[in-house]
Chain A
Amino acid sequence: MQMLEKVLAHNGLVTAFLLVGIITWLSARLSRRLTLGRVHGSAIAILIGLGLAYYGGVLTGKQSGLADISLFSGIGLMGGAMLRDFAIVATAFEVQVTEARKAGLIGACSLLLGTVLPFIVGASIAHAFGYRDVVSMTTIGAGAITYIVGPVTGAALGASSDVMALSIATGLLKAIMVMVGTPFAARFLGLNNPRSAMVFGGLAGTVSGVSAGLAATDRRLVPYGALVATFHTGLGCLLGPSALYLATKAIMA
C-alpha cells in the first residue's frame, strides 16, 4: 500500500490523468443513467471536481483544493494556468474565421458591458451592506468582474485584507455559478452558435467560468467564447483601478 502511494505521489501528473479519466467515466455513466443524457457529462464532471476541491480545502485548510493533498498534487499541474491556456489555444484550431470575424464587434461591446455591469452590481451591494468607502466599493465591485481583477484593483488602491478576501470570494463564486449554471441556462441564453458564444464570453467573464460553462454546454462553442473572455481580466485590470474607481468616487462625492 505504501509502495503504491509512493508511485502515485512521485508521478503526480500521470496520477492526475488517471483520476480525471475516472471522474470522466463516472460522470458519463451518471449522465446516461440518472439524467438520461439530459445533463451533459462534462457538467457533472466539473461538479465532481468542485466537490473534490471543497473536500481538499476542508481537509488541508489551504487554497488549491484537491491539489493540496500531496497524493493529488499533480492535479494542480494539470489544471493549472499553463496547461489550461495551452489547451484553450489548441481549440482555436477549429475556429471558423468568417464566423469569428462577423461577431467581432458585438464581442467587443459585450466585453465592455461585461466589465461595467458586474462592477455596478458588486459595488452597489457592497454599499448596501455597509461598505461605504470608495476603495472598498471599488474593490468588491472589481471582484464581481473576475477574481483576479478584484485583488489587482484592491492592491492598487490599498484596500484592507478582509475586503480583498471578500472581493476574491465574490469573483470565485461568480466563476463557479457560471460553470455550473451555463448548461442549464443555455436555452434561455440562446447559446447555440459562434456569435452567441462570443457574446457570452464577453459578458459572463472569467476564462475559467466561460470555458467550463461552454465545455459543459457544447464543446464546439468553447474557442469562440474563450477568444473574447481572455481579454476580460486584462480589461478589468485596466479599468478597475482607473476609470471605474474615479467614476465611483465622482458618484459618491
Chain B
Amino acid sequence: MIIYGTALLAACHLLGLFLGDLLGSLIGVKSNVGGVGIAMLLLIFARLYLHKRGLLPQETEQGVAFWGAMYIPVVVAMAATQNVVAALRGGPVAVLGALGAVVVCGCVIALLNRGGSQQAWQPEAETPQDPLA
C-alpha cells in the first residue's frame, strides 16, 4: 500500500522534529536543532532495516519516492514566498554582508573540495529528458 510509505515518512518527520525540539531545549536554544537531519537519519535507518527483512515492497517505496520527487516543485513554491522586497531594501550593509559571506564560504568550499581524494560523479544523464523530472 502506498500509504504505508507515506506514513513511514510522516512518522520519521514528526519524530525527528520532536527530537530536534527536545535537543534544542536540552542545550537551551530557542530553536529546533537538526530536526530535519534527525528525521532523515531515521528514514535511512528505517529503510535499511525494513529492506533487510523484505518488508519494503515497491509500492511502499513509491509512497516515499513521490514526495522526494515533489521536492523541486516545493522549492519553487518556497522561492515564491520569500520576502524578496525586504531583502532588496536592506541597503549596502545587507548586500555587502551577504555577498562577503557567500564569496568567503564559496572559496573555502572550493578549497575543501579540491583537497580530498574523491571521484566525481557522472554528470546527470545527457538525454534530453525533462530536467525537472
A: residues with CB less than 8 A from B are 16-17, 20-21, 23-24, 27-28, 31-32, 37, 40-42, 45-50, 52-54, 56-58, 63-67, 72, 75-76, 78-80, 83-95, 97, 100, 106, 110, 113-114, 117-118, 121-122, 124-126, 129, 131, 140, 143-145, 148, 152, 156, 165-166, 168-179, 181, 185, 188-196, 199-200, 203-205, 207-208, 211-212, 215, 218-220, 222-223, 226-228, 230-231, 233-235, 237-238
Contacts and interface: CB of A to CB of B under 8 A. Distances in A.
A125 B30 contact: no
B101 to A, nearest CB: 4
Contacts of A94: 68
A234 B97 contact: no
B36 A90 contact: no
A219 B71 CA distance: 9
A44 B75 CA distance: 12
Contacts of A89: 9, 12-13, 16, 36, 39-40, 43
Nearest to A185: B106
Nearest to A23: B76
Contacts of B124: 218-220
14 contacts: A42-B75, A42-B76, A49-B78, A67-B81, A75-B77, A75-B80, A90-B64, A124-B100, A166-B93, A175-B82, A177-B102, A215-B75, A234-B32, A238-B27
Contact of B108 (A113, A195, A235): A113
B85 interface: yes
A220 B16 CA distance: 22
Contact of B109 (A172, A199, A235): A199
Contacts of B39: 85, 89, 92
Interface string B89-129: 11111111111111011101110111010111101100010
Given A53-B80, A117-B105, A121-B101, A231 B132 contact: no
